Amino acid sequence: MPLIGVVAALATVTLWGCNFVAVKVAVTEVPPYFVTAIRFALLAILLAPFLRVPKERTKDIAGYALIMGVGHFSLLFYAIQFLDISTTGIVLQLGTPFVVLLAWLMLKETFGVWRMAGMAMAFIGIVILIGVPTAGVDVVALLILVFVAAMWALGSIRAKQIPDVSPFSLIAWMGLIVAPVALGMSFLFEADQMTRVISAPPRFWYGLTYMTLASSIAGYGLWYWLLNRYDVTAVAPYNLLVPLIAVGSGVTVMGDELTLTKLIGGGMILGGVALITVRQMVLARRARRISTLQGPPT
């Protein structure tokens, strides 16, 4: 990619990596489901011009919104209360092997030895994080986070099935659908929401603003700008920097502790994800090379 593409990709992953700090700060001050409702209500308002979509796609969009907004974001906001940012950023990378697994189950895609090895390495890494008692990790919250990663993977598969809808339309509709659902979850499971919002310190508002404008709108805007201009194989590897930035921000900003267990388990997860991603890049480049050598169909 040219320099402008590299800068845009680095800016995107930096916005996403630092977003874990914003989320952690926000849900520390205000109940997580209520934070989810506020965030998605803001997204629906800010992206209202993108709410126009074909009527035949509304059911697919509603399903995608509930999977991502409730299954992924709401539960992520809940789980991060009990986990440090470093662990959260690493475990969410399980979304990549989950995508491969769900693509095999739902789309009948095949995967070879390299992808199987990457998936095995990533899942062994999460077993290490869960199974070593010295890790100092809330196991229930960690298991919820594994489910959150699976929901991200499922949402990614569903998004591929509605290709004629713009990303910002998906985010806008997700905001419109998820905000009232998250609000209902908040009133069922949480208390003193408005009191805590009114008394929240400035850092809550900074976190909420960051996750709405910087991570959701600017981050996804840059990401899809990159995907529309450059090969996916050139852009996708930059996503591997997100957990590294999350770990860095967790250690420097939030004071997270890097234990040996986290380094070993997290390293295996990231290694497995890297193996899957690099293998996909190699196969894509090989397919393009073969296509170029064969020439156009006659």
More confident residue, 114 or 251: 251
pLDDT score of 298 more than 50: no
What does each C-alpha distance from 49 to 7, 68, 106, 170 come to in angstroms? 28, 21, 33, 12
| DSSP string across the chain | --HHHHHHHHHHHHHHHHHHHHHHHHHHHS-HHHHHHHHHHHHHHHTGGG----GGGHHHHHHHHIIIIIIIIIHHHHHGGGS-HHHHHHHGGGHHHHHHHHHHHHS-----HHHHHHHHHHHHHHHHHHH-GGG---HHHHHHHHHHHHHHHHHHHHHHT-TTS-HHHHHHHHHHHHHHHHHHHHHHH---HHHHHHT--HHHHHHHHIIIIIIIIIIHHHHHHHHHHS-HHHHGGGGGHHHHHHHHHHHHHS-----HHHHHHHHHHHHHHHHHHHHHHHHHHHHHHHHHHH-S--
Q: What is the pLDDT of residue 26?
A: 94
pLDDT score of 204 more than 80: yes
pLDDT score of 162 more than 70: yes
Q: Over the chain, what is the mean pLDDT?
A: 82
Whether the CB-CB separation of 93 and 16 falls below 8 Å is answered with no
Q: Which of the residue ranges 13-22, 54-63, 177-186, 289-298 would you say has the lowest mean pLDDT?
A: 289-298
Q: What percent of the chain has pLDDT over 90?
A: 31
pLDDT tier at 288, thresholds 50, 70, 90: low
| Cα radius of gyration (the chain) | 19
Task: Tell me the per-residue pLDDT of 114-151, one tens digit each, with 9 for 90 and over.
Answer: 777 877 887 787 777 666 544 456 788 888 998 998 99
Global pTM exceeds 0.85: no
Q: What is the pLDDT of residue 169?
A: 85
Whether the CB-CB separation of 186 and 51 falls below 8 Å is answered with no
Q: What is the pLDDT of residue 271?
A: 81
Q: Which residues are CB-neighbours of 162 under 8 A, at least 6 positions away? A: 57, 60, 61, 64, 170
Q: Which of the residue ranges 13-27, 170-184, 185-199, 274-288 would you say has the lowest mean pLDDT?
A: 274-288
Task: Quote the CA–CA distance of 267 and 147 in Å, as a whole number.
Answer: 20
Q: Considering only CA atoms, which of 24, 6, 2 is closest in space to residue 14?
A: 6
pLDDT score of 172 more than 80: yes
More confident residue, 201 or 162: 201
What does each C-alpha distance from 31 to 28, 45, 107, 117, 211 come to in angstroms? 7, 22, 37, 39, 16
Mean pLDDT value across residues 188-212? 93
Q: Is 4 exposed, middle or buried (0-12, 13-18, 19+ CB in 10 A)?
A: exposed
Two tokens, residue 30? 């205000």
Q: What is the pLDDT of residue 210?
A: 95
pLDDT tier at 79, thresholds 50, 70, 90: very high
More confident residue, 107 or 31: 31
Q: What is the pLDDT of residue 295?
A: 47
pLDDT tier at 38, thresholds 50, 70, 90: very high
pLDDT score of 56 more than 80: no
Q: Which of the residue ranges 35-39, 186-190, 249-253 would you say has the lowest mean pLDDT?
A: 249-253
How many Cβ atoms sit within 10 Å of the Cβ of residue 29? 17
Whether the CB-CB separation of 84 and 256 falls below 8 Å is answered with yes
For residue 150, give the amino acid letter: A
Mean pLDDT value across residues 100-116? 72
Q: What is the pLDDT of residue 35?
A: 95
pLDDT score of 33 more than 90: yes
Phi, psi of 255 (to 5 degrees): 75, 30
